[in-house]
Amino acid sequence: MVLKEESVSWALSHGLMVSGGVAPITLLPSSFSRPLIERALDISPIFNELVHQVSLNTDFIQKTLHSVDHDQFTKNLLEILSQVTSEGVTQPIGLGIHRSDYMLHRPAGVALEDTQLYQVEINTISSAFPSLSTLTSTLHRYLIERHSLSAYDPKNLFPNNSRKGVASALAHAKSLYPASDSVIMMVVNSSELNSTDQRLLEYQIWEDHRVSLIRRSLTDIGQRATLDPTTKTLSIDGMKVAVSYFRSGYKPEDYPTDLEWKARLTIERSNSIKCPNINYHLVGTKKMQQVLAGPGVIEKFLSTEKCQKLRQCFTGLYSLDPTDSPQEIIAKVLSNPDAYVMKPQREGGGNLLHGPAMVQALQTMSPEEKGAYIIMDKIVPPAKDTWVILKSGQLALMDAISEIGTYGVYIGDDKKTYLNECVGTLVRTKSRNDADGGVCAGVAVLDTIYLV
């Protein structure tokens, strides 16, 4: 109880919070294999490069995503891509703040040394929690060192400062914009549950780089932003925007009216450096993930050596596009639904279909509706008893599994790479019985890495 009370007090004192309460966290770090974590860190810059190289090939993006036209949200994004491509790209520099998420795969009967690291997804827009993941790491180190917890060697605590790395990437991008009297604009929801994570990043940018960041919603931008017809400079409330950083805009609910879609198009047509630009956003779709994992596809964009490293973390991904004759995979899923999950194009927790809901979807959706989804082999991570502190501040014991994310930052155009690094990690732990959902969705808790 001492550790719990101290954790809650520390969290409230340092801003480790979500929507006004203590962020749900594990009491202490979780153990992970050092070689597998090192593998995830090693391939982070390679995934950054892959996203960038694919983003430069607009034809490939459009052809790959043709089958998700039935998904109106993705269709709208593709229409924006088509328009800005036909008009001519006004800002060749792209800023990527990506998070590649993984789970360990160790089904029953598999030896510890045969545990695999499989990619769940790569997020190319609104990769959340760089600030809160940093604070959770700081808290866990404090508890272990302050109380001399003998079960943990501080040397094996993974040193995580993703907030500082992401802040540096945003400031670096801003420095590449010609107008020094410009700002970074964070695109946010008007009612944001995760504002503390965002605010702490804003303050880090100012503290380290003396760069101003403003917060505006898509509605604000649609109502008040202007675009210079000659220079394509984006301005709002009298300020020039150097970097448009999306922490919103990744789900249909973020675009309740045509005004918000107008705002997104205005940003994309501008010469601000987008994080992400529309190309990066679309490269992060699940359909793109499935296609890139296919034979010989990533080899079109990367060296053989880099492709071999990435393919080690690919699990089975299958198309439901009617033109790909998906009857065989659908039959396999219906005969053994516990071995698969069904994923839409959506970002954010709570969108995955599994079990009876997946079976019903496959049996009732039209071929075109199914084409907006992919099938993925179910990853079976090892579970462990984990003490967690819930948002209510209560302590609970959870039969838990974990998802590990690496933050990668990339700045580049079609000729030059300005930055390509892995800058930190995020661990989210949840009950083994919860198939989907994140921290803000009320399912997962923040965790950190103890290397073994």
Which residue ranges are tagged as binding site for ATP? 121, 286, 376-379, 403, 430, 436
Are the C-beta atoms of residues 450 and 151 closer than 8 Å to each other? no
How is 174-236 classified by DSSP, letter by letter?
Answer: HHTSS-TTEEEEEE--SS-TTHHHHHHHHHHHHHHH---EEEE-HHHHHHH-EE-TTT--EEE
How is 386-449 classified by DSSP, letter by letter?
Answer: EEEE-TTS-EEEEEEEEEEEEEEEEEE-SS-EEEEEEEEEEEEEEETT--S--TTTTS-EEE-E
For residue 276, is the peptide bond before it cis, meaning its omega torsion is within 30 degrees of 0? Answer: yes
CA distances (Å), origin 332, targets 65, 294, 314: 24, 19, 19
Could you tell me which residues are annotated as the binding site? 99, 121, 123, 198, 286, 347, 376-379, 403, 428, 430, 436
Cα first-last separation, the chain: 26
Are the C-beta atoms of residues 442 and 21 closer than 8 Å to each other? no
Query: Other C-beta atoms within 10 Å of 384: how many?
Result: 14
Retrieve residue 431's tokens. 């009950």
Could you tell me which residues are annotated as the binding site for substrate? 99, 198, 428
Could you tell me which residues are annotated as the binding site for Mg(2+)? 121, 123, 347
Looking at residue 299, the DSSP 8-state letter turns out to be: G
Retrieve residue 274's tokens. 């987008």
How is 40-71 classified by DSSP, letter by letter?
Answer: HHHHHHHHHHHHHHHHT-HHHHHHHTGGGTTS
Are the C-beta atoms of residues 410 and 96 closer than 8 Å to each other? yes
Collapse the DSSP code of 22 into the 3-class scheme (helix H, G, I; strand E, B; otherwise coil) and give the result.
Answer: strand
Q: Give me the amino acid identity at 158.
A: F
Q: How far is CA 356 from the centre of its chain?
A: 27
Radius of gyration of the chain (CA): 22
Q: How far is CA 363 from the centre of its chain?
A: 30
Residue 276: exposure state from Cβ atoms within 10 A (0-12, 13-18, ≥19)? buried
3-state helix, strand, coil in the chain (%, to 5): 40, 25, 35
